[in-house]
């Protein structure tokens, strides 16, 4: 059983679709909304925000994560995402890695405009994820990479 109620699930599913309307996407014309549920039941929403310098754009999922983290939250139980595509929306690779930063055993609800969805764990969306504990893994001794003599 997930760490949230059916009522909370319905709330994030509805909110992610509503957040599409807030998207700033003048270049792609591809609005995306997200709603993130924290371990304590707090919901944070996000939308994609594009920039003329494309690399500076931020996806809806990461917007929601940034808002939650900036308010002191680090443990999440579910995120729901929505777009206007007829098929379900899936997180991009950058978002998958961003989700994995906060654990791989929580739920991602990928929705369609008719409110149907598919749910997967973060670890299913990003198998063999590079996670914070990997930075503590045993390493080979460092070699001098400053240049050749």
- Is the Cα torsion angle 98, 38, 120, 25 positive or negative in sign? negative
For residue 148, the SS3 value is: coil
The answer to whether the beta carbons of residues 134 and 97 sit under 8 Å apart is: no
Active-site residue set: 61
If you write DSSP's letter for every residue of 14-50 in order, what string do you get? HHHHHHGGG-B-TTT---EEEEEEETTS-EEEEE-B-
For residue 119, the SS3 value is: strand
- Residue 60's nearest CA partner among 22, 12, 108, 103 is 22
Give Dmax over CA atoms of the chain in angstroms: 65
């Amino acid at each position: 059983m997930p760490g949230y109620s059916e009522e909370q699930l319905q709330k994030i599913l509805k909110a992610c679709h509503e957040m599409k309307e807030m998207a700033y996407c003048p270049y792609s014309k591809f609005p995306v909304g997200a709603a993130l549920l924290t371990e304590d039941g707090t919901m944070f929403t996000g939308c994609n925000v594009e920039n003329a310098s494309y690399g500076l754009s931020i996806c809806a999922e990461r917007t929601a994560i940034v808002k939650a983290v900036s308010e002191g939250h680090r443990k999440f139980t579910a995120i729901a995402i929505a777009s206007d595509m007829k098929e379900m929306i899936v997180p991009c690779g950058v978002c998958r890695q961003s989700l994995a930063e906060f654990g791989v055993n929580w739920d991602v609800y990928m929705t369609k405009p008719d409110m149907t969805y598919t749910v997967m764990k973060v670890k299913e969306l990003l198998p063999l994820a590079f996670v914070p504990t990997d930075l503590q893994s045993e390493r080979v001794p460092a070699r001098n990479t400053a240049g050749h003599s």
